[in-house]
Structure formats: structure tokens, C-alpha cells
Structure 1
């Protein structure tokens, strides 16, 4: 593998949006997201992200192919979706940097790209300045869900090694259509946080 990781900002992000939309559809189809999405929605979502001040996209390429990506932006740019739980918990949205979704093809996992994605996003947050915490969220699924793979290993251990921990009560909801459902349903999203003063 000839893996290369780069950080894109501003107009640079727009150059990879179509490839990133397709990648997200493929990766999020699997457990635990089970996402039955559309390219049209993904392209709109990513275009909004790309236009957000302070946004960054960490891209992993194997040769010319984009095999993974990770997005992030100041939390204040996501206030509509996530403001309520953070405000109830007493956090200042201006000081929170939101690490969005990471997507990586199965064929390229286990080569350190997960760390590279977090390294790139946290470094970008520190470069921007003014942020006290980095955060991300994960979908909450029941252990007895019928589509949960028997060999699934959650990423909790990896995230904890990065210095993140779940915050009690810091939960948002987000709607999407699961692959085994006829319509959109609400999903609980648990936030994990890390003080940016803690290096990894």
C-alpha cells in the first residue's frame, strides 16, 4: 500500500466531495450505522461542512484512490443539531471542536489511519486556537440488535487510548433510514470528549 494522508481546508475540500459522498454511503451501510442513504443527501451535507469556517477534511489515499476520510469543524457550526445537550451540560459551544465522522474501507483498516485522522483533526483545532475540548459522537445500538455482527469489536478502547471518554447525559438524536427499516427513525448519539490540553 502507498498510503498518503493529507489535510484539506477551504476550497480544497470541494475537490473531494463526490468521492467522499460515495465512500460514506459504502462505509455507513455497515454496522453500527446501518445507513440507507443517498448520494444527493450526502453531497448536500458535505457541501455545508466544506463551507463552514474552520472546517478540515483529512483524506487517506492509496495511490490515486481515496480510501478513507475524516471531517471536523468548530461545534458552533453544528449548533442546530447538537446545541441543546451541550448547553444543558454547561459547555460553551465556541470552545468545542467537533470531530465528525471517520470513514475507512475495510481493506485499509489496521494501518494506523484512525490515529492519523484524530492527529490531523486535533492539530487543526490547536492551530485554529480557542478550543478547550475536542468531541465526537457515536450511535448507540442495543447489544441484542438482530443485525449486530457476532465478531463486532467496538472502538471504545481505541478512543480511550486517545484520551476521550463518554460524557454522562451528553446525548443528541439524529434521524436516518436504517437498511432494515421502511422509514427514518431517531437514533441516540452519545458524545465523547477530550480536553485539547491532553496530547496523545
Structure 2
């Protein structure tokens, strides 16, 4: 196992790796994402076009088995920027974490922690951000596809210093498993002050 960090235009060769991992990993609860290459192309264009975007990649040999992303919030789409602007926070001072996706066989080895460490360190090096944040989908506790052994990641995020900001909300649309068309999903943000 080894970790590789790619920035800006260096991420280009790994867009397809991230798309593959997102489709596989986000198929599980709570995202239940019925991924498609076309959707991925649209979604990942934000990262491909941002000169300060970041990919943190976990390799097993030559195969990418995990990936984590980040981008300045002011380069994100309106749906992600709007809750911050409306609450009086400057999106230009926030570094946004897009996702962390890791194949199940590689979990529990500290890679998720490393993903957070690398993204936070990068945001600090850029020198203009006060906070890091990410958002997570919200599903009801009685969702019919929620596995009996499902454990939310809230405790993991809290240990990393992230605080849930339920007042900062957005919606994002994708096609759930078994759905014929996309539907809007409620999402809320988690934030950490950079020191």
C-alpha cells in the first residue's frame, strides 16, 4: 500500500479511477448511488477544471483502491457554495472535501485518517483558508435499505475535529439504486477550523 498526492492538472489521469471507485463504494448505504459514467463525467468536471484541486490516492501495487478529493469551495458548484454565502461565510476562505472512497477490503488500516490529514495539510499550505468542510447525505433511521449493522461515520468525523453544522444544508440529486430517475437528497455540512 502506498499513498500518492496529485494536485491541479496532475489529477487528469486519475479521473476514471475516482469515477470507478465512486460508483462502487457509493452504491452502499447511505448513498445508494446508481452510478453512471455520464453522471461521473459531469460531477468530476469541477475537479478536472480547478487548478488547486487535490486527489489523495491509495494504491495497492498499480491499482487505485481508494481516493479522496478536495477543492477550494469557491470553485465548487452553486449548490455547495450557497449555504455558506447565505450564512455570511466567505466560500473563498473554505476548502471543500469532496469525498473519501475506499474499497471495503482496505478499511481499518488508517487510510481514512491519512486522507483527512493530507487534505488538511494541503489546505494549510495554500494559506488562505480558515476552515475545511464536507457534506454528507441524510437518510432516515428507518430507511428500508439501511443495513442492521450500519454504523454512521459521525464518531470518526468528530475524532478528526469536525463538527456537524445542521443549519448548513443543501440538496444534491442522483439516481438511487432501483430508481428510474434522479431525486434530490438532503445533505448537511461538517466543518473544522484550520489552525
Q: Smaller-chain TM-score range?
A: over 0.9
Aligned to 1:72: 70
1:56 to 17, 38, 54: 54
Aligned to 1:98: 96
CA drift of 1:109 comes to 0.4
Aligned to 2:165: 167
CA drift of 1:81 comes to 1.9
Aligned to 2:23: 25
Instruction: State the Cα RMSD in Å.
Output: 1.1
1:178 to 176, 187, 192: 176
Q: 1:105-126 deviations in whole A, cap 9, x for unaligned?
A: 0010000010110011101100
Aligned to 2:106: 108
Alpha-carbon distance in 1 for matches of 2:36, 2:112: 25
Asked if structure 2 preserves the Cα contact closer than 8 Å seen for 1:72 and 1:98, the reply is yes
Aligned to 1:12: 10
TM-score scaled to structure 2, two decimals? Answer: 0.96
Asked if structure 1 preserves the Cα contact closer than 8 Å seen for 2:94 and 2:131, the reply is yes
CA drift of 1:37 comes to 1.5
Runs of 4+ in structure 1 deviating by more than 4 angstroms, as ranges, are none
TM-score scaled to structure 1, two decimals? Answer: 0.94
Q: 1:71-112 deviations in whole A, cap 9, x for unaligned?
A: 000000014122221122110111010011111000100000
Alpha-carbon distance in 2 for matches of 1:61, 1:131: 29
SS at match of 2:140: coil
Alpha-carbon distance in 1 for matches of 2:175, 2:166: 26
CA drift of 1:46 comes to 1.9
Alpha-carbon distance in 2 for matches of 1:168, 1:88: 14
User: Gaps spanning 5+ residues in structure 2: where?
Assistant: none
